[in-house]
């Protein structure tokens, strides 16, 4: 059933729920799913006018955007697809939007393969990598290294609270990589037999700060102390355009039950409804650039302090909410929907061609 008024297709709502509940997760995977959902919206839309079609696509984008706040790949993907919503009839708009979404998804895959080749150059035969959480960009580097005949071993942090390190362990074992799974607190002990810390990113700020799964910052500091290089594998889709103008990155806080189940809470506290035991569950942290040795993208590897050069090259002058109408777009009707207010349009942050301005800083959390 479509919701009255917004006419958002069920596929979009299903995708939004899957992202919010982390059935679909990982910055690149979220971007891919969001692009696919916009394509579905375009295909299934029953809009009778171009204005109604555009309004529906923007409403769908907003629905998807509001699921999780930290991974910039999501708004970057939405903005890219909406930027391709061109045409003067519904049929033209539909086919242009679907084609744009499909191109985005293909480019994303190709970009990750290129990134893997860049990252693999940092790995030598016999290296031991330590991973945190589950990152398809980081794993692309390992996959390429294996394809090139290098033997790689992995020390995999389980990554509380959701134990997403288990996903990494499963993937690495499928590739026949020897895996040692450790609890997060054991990482410093294992750094003395680690050649590289290899992690992904949800967002990269213009100053080279890396926003990634909670625990990355502590790992990077411990790695610096142990003299182990830290590599961040992050396609350009993870570059956060707003940080170029000083905006911070919002850190998602997730449900306390991920850390402490209601049943266990009751066991821990004598009093019924004791609210003096507080659980804090920030999902991400910010690693300052001084603890990062290289950011690996599909365009090459960069010292974190120079990532702003790439951002300036890739991004345009301004950014806007993904659903903001483009400045050159004909006015749409103003009734309902999620029309933006005509703010400036960002160039599309796509792995192949993206969009930018001045340095900013990520939230230090
Ligand atoms: P790829 C994940 O976030 C992890 O923090 C991971 O490092 C990052 O996305 C990037 O993943 P979450 O969605 O894009 O699990 O490299 O909270 O796959």
Q: Which residues of 297-310 are buried (b: 16+ CB within 10 A; e: fewer)?
A: bbbebbebeebbeb
* Mean per-residue pLDDT over the chain, rounded: 89
Q: Between the CA of residue 211 and those of 27, 72, 156, 171, 191, what are the distances in Å? A: 11, 10, 19, 23, 22
Residue 56 lies in a domain: no
What 8-state DSSP symbol labels residue 296? E
Q: Residue 73 C-alpha to ligand 1 middle, in angstroms?
A: 10
pLDDT at 6: 60
Residue 244 lies in a domain: yes
- What percentage of the chain carries pLDDT values higher than 90? 79
Angle at 26 between CA 24 and CA 32, to 5 degrees: 70
Angle at 330 between CA 327 and CA 334, to 5 degrees: 95
Is residue 204 within 8 Å of residue 295, measured between CB atoms?
yes
- Tell whether 344 is covered by a domain: no
CA distance 30 to 74: 6
Q: What is the mean pLDDT of residues 156-184?
A: 98
Average pLDDT on 29-47 reads 98
Contacts of 4 (CB under 8 A, 6+ apart): none
Mutate to test the pocket of ligand 1, among 18, 19, 26, 230 (most ligand atoms within 8 A of CB): 26
Q: Is the CB of 212 under 6 A from ligand 1?
A: yes
Q: Would you say residue 174 lies in a domain?
A: yes
The DSSP code for 239 is: B
Look at 79-88, 224-233, 287-296, 322-331 and tell me which has the smallest mean pLDDT.
Answer: 322-331
Question: How far apart, in whole angstroms, are the C-alpha atoms of residue 204 and residue 201?
Answer: 7
Domain span at residue 162? 114-252+280-311
Distance of CA 237 to the CA centre of its chain: 7
Pocket perturbation via mutation, ligand 1, pick of 20, 133, 168, 203 by most ligand atoms within 8 A of CB? 133
**Lowest mean pLDDT segment, chosen from 127-131, 259-263, 305-309, 354-358:** 354-358
Q: How far is the CA of 202 from the centre of ligand 1 (A)?
A: 6
- Does residue 32 sit in helix, strand or coil? helix
Q: The pTM is what?
A: 0.88
For the CA of 237, the nearest atom of ligand 1? 14
3-state secondary structure at position 77: helix
Task: Summarize pLDDT for 185-244 with one digit per residue, the tens.
Answer: 999 999 999 999 999 999 999 999 999 999 999 999 999 999 999 999 999 999 999 999
The residue whose CA is least distant from atom 6 of ligand 1 is: 135
Say if residue 347's pLDDT is above 50: no
Confidence of residue 18 (pLDDT cuts 50, 70, 90): very high
Cis preceding-peptide flag for 161 (omega within 30 of 0): yes
- Measured distance CA(312)–CA(120) in Å, rounded: 26
Instruction: Decide: 357 in ligand 1 pocket, CB within 6 A.
Output: no
How far is ligand 1, taken at its centre, from the CA of residue 343, in Å?
Answer: 30
Q: Which residues pair with 282 in a beta bridge?
A: 253
Question: What's 339's DSSP letter?
Answer: -
| CATH code at position 168 | 3.40.50.10470
Among candidate residues 219, 244, 210, 197, the one with its CA nearest the CA of residue 70: 210
Give the span between the Cα atoms of 265 and 272, in whole angstroms.
Answer: 10
Total number of residues shown for the chain? 365
Nearest CA owner, ligand 1 atom 13: 26
Domain membership of residue 340 (yes or no) is no
In angstroms, the CA 73 to CA 75 distance is: 6
pLDDT-based confidence at residue 358 (cuts at 50, 70, 90): very low
pLDDT one-digit tens code per residue, 246-269 = 999 999 999 999 999 999 998 998
Q: Is residue 208 part of a domain?
A: yes
- Split into its structural domains, the chain has a count of 1
Domain-embedded: residue 154: yes
CA of 203 to the centre of ligand 1 (A): 9
Provide the pLDDT for residue 274.
Answer: 78
> From atom 9 of ligand 1, which residue's Cα is the shortest distance away?
26
């Amino acid at each position: 059933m479509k919701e009255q008024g917004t006419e958002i297709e069920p596929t979009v709502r299903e995708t939004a729920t899957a992202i919010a509940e982390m059935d679909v997760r990982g910055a690149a995977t979220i971007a891919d799913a969001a692009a696919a959902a916009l394509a579905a919206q375009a295909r299934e839309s029953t809009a009778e006018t171009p204005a109604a079609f555009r309004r529906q696509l923007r409403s769908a984008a907003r629905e998807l955007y509001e699921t999780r706040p930290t991974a910039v790949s999501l708004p970057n993907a939405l903005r890219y697809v909406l930027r391709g919503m061109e045409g003067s009839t519904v049929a033209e708009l539909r086919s242009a939007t679907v084609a744009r979404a499909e191109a985005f998804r293909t480019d994303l895959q190709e970009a990750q393969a290129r990134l893997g080749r860049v990252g693999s150059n940092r790995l030598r035969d016999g290296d031991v990598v330590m991973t945190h959480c589950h990152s398809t960009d980081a794993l692309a580097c390992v996959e390429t290294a294996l394809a090139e005949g290098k033997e790689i071993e992995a020390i995999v942090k389980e990554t509380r609270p959701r134990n997403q390190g288990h996903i990494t362990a499963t993937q690495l074992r499928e590739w026949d990589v020897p895996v040692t799974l450790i609890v997060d607190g054991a990482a410093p002990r294992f750094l003395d037999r680690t050649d590289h810390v290899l992690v992904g990113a949800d967002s990269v700020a213009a100053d080279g700060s890396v926003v990634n799964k909670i625990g990355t910052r502590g790992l990077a500091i411990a790695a610096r102390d142990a003299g182990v290089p830290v590599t961040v594998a992050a396609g350009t889709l993870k570059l956060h355009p707003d940080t170029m103008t000083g905006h911070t990155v919002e850190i998602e806080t997730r449900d306390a039950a991920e850390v402490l189940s209601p049943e266990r809470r009751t066991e821990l506290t004598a009093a019924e409804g004791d609210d003096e035991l507080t659980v804090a569950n920030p999902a991400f942290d910010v690693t300052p650039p001084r603890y990062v040795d290289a950011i690996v993208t599909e365009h090459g590897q960069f010292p974190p302090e120079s990532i702003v050069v790439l951002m300036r090259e890739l991004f345009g002058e301004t950014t806007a909410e993904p659903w903001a109408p483009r400045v050159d777009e004909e006015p749409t009707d103003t009734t309902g929907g999620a029309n933006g207010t005509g703010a400036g349009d960002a160039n599309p942050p796509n792995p192949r061609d993206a969009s930018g301005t001045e340095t900013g800083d990520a939230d230090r959390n």
